[in-house]
Chains A and B, each alone.
Chain A
Amino acid sequence: MADPMKIRATMKGDLADVRVLMVHPMETGQRKDASGNVVPLHFIQQLSVRVNGRLMIEGQISQAVARNPVFSFRLKGVKAGDSLEIAWLDNRGERSQSVASIA
């Protein structure tokens, strides 16, 4: 896919509403694909949210999170123009990181 992560961060009063869309199949290892063989376990395990490099949120998740996960967070003490970075790591060691500036 073109863009494995899509971040939208906008100031609402003095809070920042953060919404991130991650492209990931989040396979439970229970599903069979079209030709009938089991699709192995494959899911994001950890994610982190940083503003200007400072860690704000750290998450650990499982295959019980839906496919193409969408997370919403709320941050305070941040302002428009700050650099928001989100990173994830999955159970196969694959990673993704993306940066957006807060609108």
Chain B
Amino acid sequence: MMAMNPLRRISLRLAGALAAGLLLPLRAFAAWNKEAFQSRTAADALKGLGVAASSDSKDIVIEAPQIAENGQVVPVEVTSQLPNTKSIAVVIEKNPFPLAAKFEFGDGALPYIKVNVKMGESSFVRVVAEAGGRFYTASKEVKVTIGGCGG
């Protein structure tokens, strides 16, 4: 193919860029909740999220392994059956920074999330969901052990 004329080359590159999503409008994000994420205790993290009080609820289903062979990758799957759940936060009580993630669901999104988290040691994984202007919570213990030949 003889040298591509510059115009054609530019238009090809534009098409490629569009496909790769580079030309999408730059997405703005709300400020990262520094206070909550940098809290060193679960209680402070919840305060940082504006959670004054929360009641235990069986309508928050946490699927997580009882024993994780190592703390680098611990899959946590959360489903909220509370009507019009607005957000789900995942707090790992014994982590140096307990708040791991918080997701806000607009209409069209189910209150469900699956994410792999890191755990420094065996700990309770606590979930706080906001629904109908009130906060609900549930937790599950995950034990972290040494796997493999530990050598």
Contacts and interface: CB of A to CB of B under 8 A. Distances in A.
Contact of A74 (B72, B109, B115): B109
A49 B29 contact: no
A54 B101 contact: no
Interface residues of A, number: 40
Contacts, number: 120
Interface of B: 19-22, 24, 26-27, 29-30, 32-33, 37, 72-74, 77, 92, 95, 97, 99-110, 112-118
B68 to A, nearest CB: 11
With most chain B CB atoms within 10 A of its CB, the pick from A46, A60, A99 is: A60
A67 to B, nearest CB: 8
A98 B29 contact: no
A71 B117 CA distance: 11
A64 B109 contact: no
A56 interface: yes
> Chain A contact residues: over half helix, strand or loop, or mixed?
strand
A46 B29 contact: yes
B115 A71 contact: yes
A69 B29 contact: no
A62 B80 CA distance: 21
A71 B113 contact: yes
A75 B108 contact: yes
Contact of B30 (A58, A78, A97): A58
